[in-house]
Structure 1
Amino acid sequence: MKLKGLMKGALFAASVFAVLPAHAQDKVAKIGVLAPLTGGAAADGAEMVNGARLAVDEINAAGGVAGYKLEVVVGDTQDQAADSVTSAFERLAGDRDVNAIVTGYASGSNFEIELMAEQEMPYLISANSAQTRDIIAPSPDDFPTVWSITPSYDAYETEMVPVIDELASSGKLKLPNKKVALISSDNPYSKTIMEGLKKNFEAAGWTVTSSDLLPFGEISDWRAFLAGVRQDAPALIINTDYLPGNAAKFMTQFLEEPTDSLVFIQYAPSVPEFLDLTKDQATGVVYNLLGGVLNTPKNPRAAEVVKKYEDKYGNQPGTYGPALYEQVYLYADALEKVGDPTKRLEIGEALGASEKQIAAGMLKFDPETHLAVQGNDGIPIQFYQIWDGERVLFYPGSYATGEFQMPPWMQ
């Protein structure tokens, strides 16, 4: 009798949920989110989902868009390996109500762009711009639904030398020599940037003392590399591995016996997890961003998005919370214009015609590469230094929120 009663209760509850009128009259447009929710990049993945849900909740609270309520559906790309990404994509694409997918990054190579094109799936992405360009630029018309809100990563490879030269010539950075040590993990993003930096530093007359490549994944011990660095005592040390846990260990192990070297770490210091792990040991480290939050008085949109994120989740976002928030709004704008989420090619065309101020700057797309346009009038590259737990934007000067300072271990 007890079991029978439980079954009756369950059936009654099911019937109630089946007839609840809350939004039964609303059509649903699902937005798939590809995100690494497990593994070393899980902090990024969680932020991606948070950013997308923040935007969806706002849009739905305002009545939806074009007669549709939006819904987030998540696919975990795990370690970003090809089979993990493909499996996550297939789960999302198999849902007939999923007619758009957004991500910060799903894989290191962005190979999934080909899958999106095959299914005419609107796909907004942020990271790995070099890979996006290499896939799309040979035949941009074959990818009408794929667009990157991040510009070309060429500036990651080319802008470092002039920024260092500018700091040195102004007297803000005192260089003991013109030697640079480079290290990377073996993934397309980090490796490509390291190789580009090596080429540009050598062309500028610098001596590259090392350009080591380590297997991609968790790295617990950087001491072998750092031992070689201490022998060469370069003026600049650059680590392009982007995982915040790896970067935190690198920084703390460097400070065990620091050299008179400026330390630059690619991307990872922008992730809140990095500061949580390093605390005051992060003071002085430098990083840069393309497509990061341009939180300056000249771009009030960034402060607006960051505040909304902080109010909802109780912590400051890195790059991908605001990025996914903006991607969802770009899709909502396109859906409002087209009126039907199943008209994927029209949605893709509307996305490509977007031109609006976002948290990263002024967004417009290059039709030849489907990347955001880079520059001070578009999405600028930003150089930051962490100081006492705060991120100080010191370059470009037109957007700067503070000045570069000599790191404490160099003083």
Structure 2
Amino acid sequence: MSDSKRLSRRELLRSAAVAGVGGLVLGGLLARQASRMVATPAQQANLAGAQMKTKVDKIRIGASLPLTGWGAGDGTEMQRGLQMAIDEVNAQGGVGGIPVELVVLDVEEMPAEKMLSNFQRLIEVEKVHAIIVGYHVSSGPEFDLVAQAKIPYMHVNTTEASAKPVRENRDKYWMIFQGDPTEVWYGIGFAAYMDQLIESGQWKPYNKKLTLITSDNPYSISIADTFKAEAEKRGWTVNIYERVVVPVADWGPTLAKIRKDPPGLIFITDYAPSDLALFTKEFVKDPTPSLLYQQYGPSIPEYLEMAGDAANGVIWSTVIGILPDSYAEPWKQRYRQKFGAEPGGANAGSLYDMTNVYLRAVAMAGDPTDTRKVCSIMENIIHRGVCGTMAFDKSDLSGRPYPEYTKDPSLGMPHLTYQIQNKKHVLVSPEPYTTGQFKLPPWLA
């Protein structure tokens, strides 16, 4: 991107006043024209003191979310995360005295035509200053809409398909930010964790056969294929590769194949919580001597509600998730008080963090309509949120994971691996965030 809105020394110092002196590593940044800006918990209260240079009377954030259909559990979390961030900023006086307003449209089961209709309405009718969403399974066609509108667009699609267009055409898509690492890191990361379990003696695989179960979408297939390649490098062979259509009504035929040829590991990339819960309940009735991994879906509260005790022993992971630490725990308490429910593992926190990144960039820019400047600031922010570090690699404006990409947890988003123990999510990797240790599942103990 050719950046025509570089920060001057005066603008940097004004940004420091908004962000808080402790939020900017000034010694190095002044020498590099603020190439990185670090947000900390105490800074949120300072947004009200921003020196705004705009005529707008509201900062409007648009969202296209799955509030009905199979993704409604996620959609509810997404909306709550957005609303919570906005309400907290407004309660402190808005951004430089300007209130923030949320406009939400239901994308239902996320067909491309509904998504595009929502984006067109948000841009042309609602006149939003930015669009912040969770994920869209049909994502891609909306990129040109936001490129034409030249407004910030933040998402956590978690896909290479979303990173690639930005990587290949930064001049066109300078306003599109992916708040987390892409899906390829799931396979890379779990293969590394599997090595740790084996090398430490915590798990001795029954054999080196791998059963892969994926849903029929590019995201799930990519994760399965990446892990397949990583496992084969380690001498594993795939005995079953099953592709299913969401939602799955009957796991019987798949489980019959597994029981006929038991693998050492079952790796499932269908992320629908109802599918995963049903599989788990049926699996434990007659389990094979297999470690069971399920990608992301167990983070959604309805999974445990449906699976119950059967979930004990299941391993799952997310490349973006709410941390069990002193920053996120007070946030979780505020969430419970506000919504009367437990937050899920990822969606509420990720949209909360992205909203704060955007609003801090607006405060530093001084005007939500100066979108080039807002995005230039966002590109250089390192934000410590409830999901850990949110930062954007300059090559594709996507996140990078810790510890697979960087060994510095202050620069990468933690790739969290959990095991369900006593119907609770226990974080078993990576350090220094862990809350417990891996235990053999009940069917292997």
**Fold conserved between structures, TM > 0.5:** yes
Within the candidate set 354, 362, 370, 1:327 is matched to 354
Within the candidate set 247, 264, 269, 2:276 is matched to 247
Within the candidate set 394, 405, 408, 2:439 is matched to 405
Report 1:388-403 matches (<5 A): 388-403=422-437
Q: CA–CA distance in 2 between the matches of 1:198 and 1:389?
A: 29
Partner of 1:283: 312
Partner of 1:233: 262
Partner of 1:101: 131
Within the candidate set 126, 139, 156, 1:126 is matched to 156
Report 1:49-60 matches (<5 A): 49-60=79-90
Secondary structure at the counterpart of residue 416 of structure 2: strand
Q: CA–CA distance in 2 between the matches of 1:338 and 1:245?
A: 43
Q: CA–CA distance in 2 between the matches of 1:241 and 1:136?
A: 26
Partner of 1:257: 286
Q: CA–CA distance in 1 between the matches of 2:262 and 2:369?
A: 59
Paired residue type of 2:387: A
Quote the offset at 1:77 in angstroms: 1.4
Per-residue CA deviations over 1:348-376 (Å, capped at 9, x if unaligned) read 22211211211222222111010123224
Partner of 1:164: 194
Paired residue type of 2:362: L
Q: CA–CA distance in 2 between the matches of 1:232 and 1:334?
A: 54
Paired residue type of 2:130: A
Q: CA–CA distance in 2 between the matches of 1:161 and 1:349?
A: 36
Quote the offset at 1:399 in angstroms: 2.0
Q: CA–CA distance in 1 between the matches of 2:402 and 2:431?
A: 13
In the alignment, is the contact (CA less than 8 A) between 1:384 and 1:395 conserved in 2? yes
Residue 106 of structure 2 is aligned to residue 79 of structure 1: no
What is the CA RMSD across the aligned residues, in angstroms? Answer: 1.6
In the alignment, is the contact (CA less than 8 A) between 1:140 and 1:367 conserved in 2? no
Report 1:285-300 matches (<5 A): 285-296=314-325, 300=326
Partner of 1:150: 180
Paired residue type of 1:390: K
Partner of 1:20: none
Secondary structure at the counterpart of residue 31 of structure 1: strand
In the alignment, is the contact (CA less than 8 A) between 2:163 and 2:178 conserved in 1? no
Partner of 1:356: 383
Partner of 2:328: 302
Cα 1:190–1:375 change in 2 (3 A) is: same
Residue 87 of structure 2 is aligned to residue 29 of structure 1: no
In the alignment, is the contact (CA less than 8 A) between 1:291 and 1:379 conserved in 2? yes
- Identify the range of structure 1 (241-250 vs 166-175) with the bigger mean alpha-carbon deviation: 166-175
Partner of 1:373: 400
Quote the offset at 1:204 in angstroms: 1.3
- Identify the range of structure 1 (343-352 vs 265-274) with the bigger mean alpha-carbon deviation: 343-352
- Identify the range of structure 1 (72-81 vs 338-347) with the bigger mean alpha-carbon deviation: 338-347
Partner of 2:18: none
Q: CA–CA distance in 2 between the matches of 1:317 and 1:104?
A: 15
Identity among equivalent positions (%) equals 34
Q: CA–CA distance in 1 between the matches of 2:90 and 2:97?
A: 10
Partner of 1:341: 368
Q: CA–CA distance in 2 between the matches of 1:399 and 1:357?
A: 14
Q: CA–CA distance in 2 between the matches of 1:26 and 1:196?
A: 46
Q: CA–CA distance in 2 between the matches of 1:404 and 1:111?
A: 42
Per-residue CA deviations over 1:136-156 (Å, capped at 9, x if unaligned) read 111222211111110233321
Cα 1:353–1:240 change in 2 (3 A) is: same
Within the candidate set 249, 260, 280, 1:220 is matched to 249
In the alignment, is the contact (CA less than 8 A) between 1:86 and 1:112 conserved in 2? yes
Residue 215 of structure 2 is aligned to residue 185 of structure 1: yes
Secondary structure at the counterpart of residue 270 of structure 2: coil
Q: CA–CA distance in 2 between the matches of 1:149 and 1:176?
A: 38
Quote the offset at 1:35 in angstroms: 0.8
Per-residue CA deviations over 1:275-303 (Å, capped at 9, x if unaligned) read 1111111111000110111223xxx3222
- Identify the range of structure 1 (160-169 vs 227-236) with the bigger mean alpha-carbon deviation: 160-169
Per-residue CA deviations over 1:356-411 (Å, capped at 9, x if unaligned) read 21122222211101012322421121110011121111111332110000000112
Quote the offset at 1:96 in angstroms: 4.7
Gaps (5+ residues) in structure 2?
Answer: 1-54, 404-408
Paired residue type of 2:252: R
Secondary structure at the counterpart of residue 27 of structure 1: coil
Paired residue type of 2:275: N
Partner of 1:18: none
Paired residue type of 1:301: Y
Q: CA–CA distance in 1 between the matches of 2:57 and 2:188?
A: 48
Q: CA–CA distance in 2 between the matches of 1:253 and 1:151?
A: 32
Quote the offset at 1:223 in angstroms: 1.3
Partner of 1:41: 71
In the alignment, is the contact (CA less than 8 A) between 2:353 and 2:387 conserved in 1? no
Quote the offset at 1:26 in angstroms: 8.7
In the alignment, is the contact (CA less than 8 A) between 1:108 and 1:188 conserved in 2? no
Quote the offset at 1:108 in angstroms: 4.1
Gaps (5+ residues) in structure 1?
Answer: 1-24
In the alignment, is the contact (CA less than 8 A) between 2:81 and 2:350 conserved in 1? yes
Larger Rg: 1
Cα 1:96–1:344 change in 2 (3 A) is: farther
In the alignment, is the contact (CA less than 8 A) between 1:335 and 1:341 conserved in 2? yes
Paired residue type of 1:31: I
Q: Normalising by structure 1, what TM-score?
A: 0.90
Partner of 2:166: 136
Quote the offset at 1:119 in angstroms: 1.3
